[in-house]
Amino acid sequence: MNVVRNPATEETIAELPEATIEDADRAVAAAKSAFPAWHAVSPADRGRLLRRLATVVEEHGEELALLETRNVGKPISDSRGEAGMVADVFHFYAGAVDKHFGETIPVPGGVDMTFREPLGVVGLITPWNFPMNIASWKLGPALACGNTIVLKPAELTPLSTLRLGELALEAGIPEGVVNVVVGPGRVVGQRLVEHSDVAKIGFTGSTEVGAGVMRGAAGTIKRVTLELGGKSANVVFADADLEKAAASAPYAVFGNAGQDCCARSRILVERSVFDRFMELLVTATGDIKVGNPEDPSTEMGPLISAGHREKVAAYVDGDVAFRGDAPDGPGFWFPPTLLAPVSNDDRAAREEIFGPVAAVIPFVDEEEAIRLANDTPYGLSGSIWTENGARALRVARALEAGVLSINSNTSVRVQTPFGGFKQSGFGRELGLHALEGYTEVKNVYFATE
């Protein structure tokens, strides 16, 4: 039995049967038999169905937001934004689907053309931190391109994904096109990864499990897109608008209680303004409102589980510069915490903590800032704060990361590509780039001479 809890109260909110290998096989078989008919639907009509799905999600936005808040513990204001993004993602791919087509290529002796073909059955495996958002980032482009789906959410947070599956049916997407299986990753997830009828795995989760997905996929030469961990840098130069940078930094690391692959959990600050910046950062961090996620004014909720809280706590030993408030419990609470000054070699600066813990690291000049920011096995996101435009672009070009912001800490937009360098994974989600990951290019040469 899969027991689902509200991490803010520790109450059981659902008990679900655990899917087995046989269930995964049945889901793959359903997706396989639905594929020819779904592939045959014209792109414009697939777009119409995705548009309907977007509208149905909008109509159920408040319900989805509340479900996400109760299951993940995230503030309701965040969940409302995320439900809105799910609808926006389906709107975007509804509009994109009939504008993604092949080319004609001049060659001697004939006409050469390319087609964009769907892959077939794709397995989508998602984590517990942004369940419905990440599901939509994969579902939108995969469905638009004519693939059928087996979607496996994380065991801790399956509820919004199950609801999305029902809403897809309500929107008129035919049975068998979207299948949701809830079960353990090492059983059901692994089965999808190794199944010979699954053409691709779109995975978001830890780097360790991502490496296992790659190994498992090798046996069938399966395509994979991996969106994995991060240890991103928020680089603050002395010539930045310090007030603005310090006001923004806490949201970049304590948003979603730090359980965010894009968290800028290494705050790199130029030494000449380090003390002033710390003062501002401590004040801004102290202002974060931690508490009941269903209260619209709450800015930070609990962690996902007791086990995860233990893991996060193990990173907080020396160098605590500030510890905010958090409720006592029940609930898996952890206060926003600043570690400073930290060396980039410390464990807290090297490993993904995935909790509300920021390591503040001093640097002396631009060259050292770039070196420290890149001195990590990860390469997902990052921010650069400076009023010098040339420096901003110079540093942005030098950083080894897939998603960067200048004078901002936001990472994710429906229209723009999202994904990592180095051990943060490969392949891109969102924007038009995501369509590449759910199609094969077929080249056809037609001899005319």
Residues lying near ligand TXE in the complex (CB under 6 A): 125-129, 152, 154-155, 185-186, 189-190, 193, 204-206, 209, 212-213, 228-230, 261, 352, 354
Give yes or no: 227 in active site: yes
- Least separation in angstroms between CB 137 and ligand TXE: 11
**What does the block give as tokens for 256?**
């979603």
Indicate the residue among 146 and 255 with the shorter CB distance to ligand TXE: 255
- Least separation in angstroms between CB 41 and ligand TXE: 29
Which one is catalytic: 145, 155, 261, 270? 261
Residue nearest to ligand TXE (CB): 185
- Least separation in angstroms between CB 341 and ligand TXE: 24
- Least separation in angstroms between CB 224 and ligand TXE: 11
- Least separation in angstroms between CB 48 and ligand TXE: 31
Which one is catalytic: 68, 82, 227, 429? 227
Indicate the residue among 99 and 215 with the shorter CB distance to ligand TXE: 215
Give yes or no: 261 in active site: yes
Catalytic residue IDs? 227, 261
